[in-house]
Structure 1
């Protein structure tokens, strides 16, 4: 399953998995192959999400049956595991402004977590819990 998100110029959100270091886990789910930018990955039944970022390069995000979170982009060479070592059920939001982007995930227990990528350093930060609509 491939979902395309067109993000508004001012704000766009990406949701990523919950952090394993916080003691959260995900229940394994059935596998679903997903291909983005020519790279094929093995994802749970939620598949892969394509995000058309306004300011940064477009990306795809997906959660493996094990709960690990992955992303790829044109020229990445393959799918890359998201930093932070977390686990999630699926991505639920993608946000962006000219300074950076963030993703939001939900865990199998219904908790929400976000991670932020600063465009100035091109570095994803740690996962943090949230209950708000945006990261």
Structure 2
């Protein structure tokens, strides 16, 4: 991992820990944690189903507000975005043809719409939203906050 990336991740950790970084207005942060960053393509088995993930990426474990099931998000070595949940039968590629380099954040707004944010090297952050009672939408450029 580059020194710059370590510094940036460290700053984001401090900002988040101090409560200076908030999810979008009227949103509840989803309870999540990510696996540690691995130096090479690696296998994860913590989300009920095994999967192989991109080097220097994390698998994001999300517990959405009002739902005790964990949904996991990860980036495959070819940069495709996948997710798995209890009962999915395995890792499922996210719709919309998104590509990313790392998982970043997740939240749910007061209407029950769920959003995940992925980091794309050189192109910022891209999000997909799952509207309450709907399906995951297309990927769109989203801000850092």
Task: Work out which structure has the larger RCO, using CA pairs closer than 8 Å and 6 or more positions apart in sequence.
Answer: 1
Over 6 Å off, 4+ runs: none
Pairing partner for 1:32 from 27, 38, 42:
42
Contact 1:12/1:95 (<8 A) preserved:
yes
Unaligned runs of 5+ in 1: 1-7, 15-28
* Larger CA Rg, structure 1 vs 2: 2
- Number of equivalences: 110
Backbone CA RMSD of aligned residues? 2.2
| Structure having the larger proportion of residues in strand | 1
1:52 match: 63
Pairing partner for 1:43 from 53, 68, 80:
53
Pairing partner for 1:64 from 64, 68, 76:
76
| Structure having the larger proportion of residues in helix | 2
Question: Which string of whole-angstrom CA distances, capped at 9 and with x for unpartnered residues, describes residues 54-106 of structure 1?
Answer: 13442011001110111000010000001111110111110113422100011
| Structure 2: distance between partners of 1:129 and 1:55 | 27
Unaligned runs of 5+ in 2: 1-22, 32-38
